[in-house]
Amino acid sequence: MNERVSGPSTAANPRTTPALQIPKVTMSRQPIYDAQHRIYAYVLSSQSDTSAPYGEEANSHNVQELIYYTFLETGVDRVTGPHRAVFRLTRGLLLMDYALVFSPDRVLLEIADFAPPDHELTEAVEELKAQGYYFVLNLPPHDPDDYHELMSRVHLLNIDLTLWSRPKLQDYISHCRQYPAQLLATNVDTSEDFEFCQTLGVDYFKGAFFGQADIITHRRSPINRPALLNLMTKLIDPATPFTELEDLVRCDVTLCHNLLRVLSSNALTHPEPITSVKQMLQTIGLKSLITWVSLILLSGLDDKPHELVTTAIIRAKMCESLAKATRQKAPNTFFLTGLISVLDALLDVAMTDLTAHLSIDETIRRALLHREGEQGRILGSVLAYESGNWEALNQLGIDSTVITDSYLRAIVWAEEATGSP
């Protein structure tokens, strides 16, 4: 980043900041045992008091909430001790490199989707495996031949006992034994289940036979979203000097505390004790910092329709795609414009108030408030397309084929990002 002098960021006006809601988070940890009843890892799941249960759908929003709570709010050492934490990552999160914010020796990444893997997912798993990450693959209730490429790369194959009769289960496990991965049996609910799996050479076990999951209830720390959004705009801007980022983080006590938890929880490797905010940011790194800030920023939005978050992602990506298609400079600023255009609804703050207290470029501000400039023209095109206002779309002068292509690409990208069908 360029070391240029920049004026101080504008602080958020407390009178325009949305009222803080601090819902409770309930998290469970269910141990995975080896054949000697020793704990190997903990499978983590969470449920806030305003959201649907995590176990009903391995969607990205719940995974992000769980990562935020485990590493930032509590500290993974307090949750799992010296054992690995098992996180169910959707295909989208794996492709977005969310795994890279973890230290490989602290996590076991579970591939939860039953959809047959494609080359892109297999390649991502191969690259992460080469960096030391361990994977567990949930096997489907049918012939696993479509999963051959993944089964040969992961460390654990997860077999749900409830999906198979005993004779078929025996054949299924025998088939899985041709792969180098070890076997994990889930829903081991009785001593008969355990003994049967032992006779088949299963390596690890999870289920009611070993006791119920531990339940931990915790109240979230308050989040200053306007300040975090301001920091995000600076992180995305390559012209922001490092000293300005340091000053913004230094002024947010809760964020400093959370980021120190990241380091103390061994989410990242750091050879020396942290003695300054500057050292903390350098150790975490810019890419990981953007990921952590986005997790904090989007956490706790359970009172908002999930579709609204999806709309924000689609709109932001569509603005960026159109900027590239029309050869605009700095397409990242168009992405940010599209993202902020939905935040007034997400945060219950008027757009005039939101932009007044964000340290954003004036071109973005004018685009959001008055649809001025190239950012405003492209944002206006996206909004017209969303509402089916073809007359307005024609007046903005962007080819309809280009817009449609950008929209379809943005939908695919959003599905990958959120894990939504």
Q: CA torsion, points 42, 44, 49, 52, in degrees to nearest 10? A: -140
Q: Distance between CA atoms of 146 and 123, rounded to whole angstroms?
A: 15
Tokens 């959004």 sit on residue: 229
Among 107-121, 205-219, 366-380, which is the least confidently predicted range?
205-219
Question: Band of the pLDDT at 242, cuts 50, 70, 90?
Answer: confident
pLDDT for 215: 54
Higher confidence at residue 11 or residue 122? 122
Domain segments of the chain as ranges: 24-218, 223-298, 306-418
Among 1-15, 45-59, 103-117, 214-228, which is the least confidently predicted range?
1-15
pLDDT for 55: 35
Q: Distance between CA atoms of 247 and 84, rounded to whole angstroms?
A: 34
**CATH domain 24-218 topology:** TIM Barrel (3.20.20)
> Is residue 373 scored above 60 in pLDDT?
yes
Do 23 and 300 form a contact (C-beta atoms < 8 A)?
yes
Question: Band of the pLDDT at 269, cuts 50, 70, 90?
Answer: low
Question: Band of the pLDDT at 355, cuts 50, 70, 90?
Answer: confident
Q: How far, CA to CA in Å, does 171 sit from each of 34, 114, 166, 178?
A: 22, 20, 9, 12
Mean pLDDT estimate for the chain: 75
From the CB of residue 52, how many other CB atoms can be counted at a distance below 10 Å?
14
Higher confidence at residue 187 or residue 275? 187
Chain segment 49-68, per-residue pLDDT in tens: 333 333 333 455 667 777 77
Mean pLDDT of 346-351: 73
pLDDT for 47: 56
Higher confidence at residue 8 or residue 304? 304
Chain segment 204-226, per-residue pLDDT in tens: 999 877 765 555 555 555 666 66
Is beta strand 182-186 parallel, antiparallel or unpaired with respect to 204-206? parallel
